[in-house]
Structures are given as structure tokens and as C-alpha cells.
Amino acid sequence: MPSDKEKVEEAAVTSVGAGVGGAGGATVGVIELAATQGTVTGLSAGLAIGAGAVAGALAFLLGYKAYRHFKTPKA
């Protein structure tokens, strides 16, 4: 069972990943809107931003868990 400190660390890593992913998703969403010259709705751009945030959060969390796994000494 993870300690409170580990839970806080995981939450922080996940939020940073969501921010980074959201920024990447926003870039993709803006490029998508510009490329289609407005034929794509703001909804699909919003979905790209949301998907980027989720992907970023998941990637950062899994990376952090892998780091913690390799960092812990083997008994």
C-alpha cells in the first residue's frame, strides 16, 4: 500500500503530465483548426486537448512508477 508521501508524489507527477499533455494537445488542436480553415469545430479541438492531457498524465505516471520500481533496492 503506498504511503501518503508516495500518493502526493504520484498526484504531482500526474498533474505535471496533464499540463504538458494539455499543452501538446492544444498545439495539435490549434494546428487542426488552422489546417482545416475552420471547418473543424472547437469541440474536436477541445477533444484533442483533453486527449493530450490524459495521455500526458498517463505517460508521466507510468514513467514515474517505472522510475520508482528501478530505484528501489532489490532485497
The pLDDT tens digits for 12-69 are: 888 888 887 777 777 777 777 677 666 666 677 777 778 888 888 888 888 888 888 8
Count of all residues that appear for the chain in the document: 75
Strand stretches in the chain, DSSP E: none
Whether 9 contacts 43, CB under 8 Å: no
Count of domains forming the chain: 1
Work out the number of other CB atoms within 10 angstroms of the CB of residue 14: 17
Q: What is the predicted pLDDT for the residue at 72?
A: 74
As a whole number of angstroms, the distance between CA 21 and CA 53 comes to 4
Range of 39's domain?
Answer: 4-71
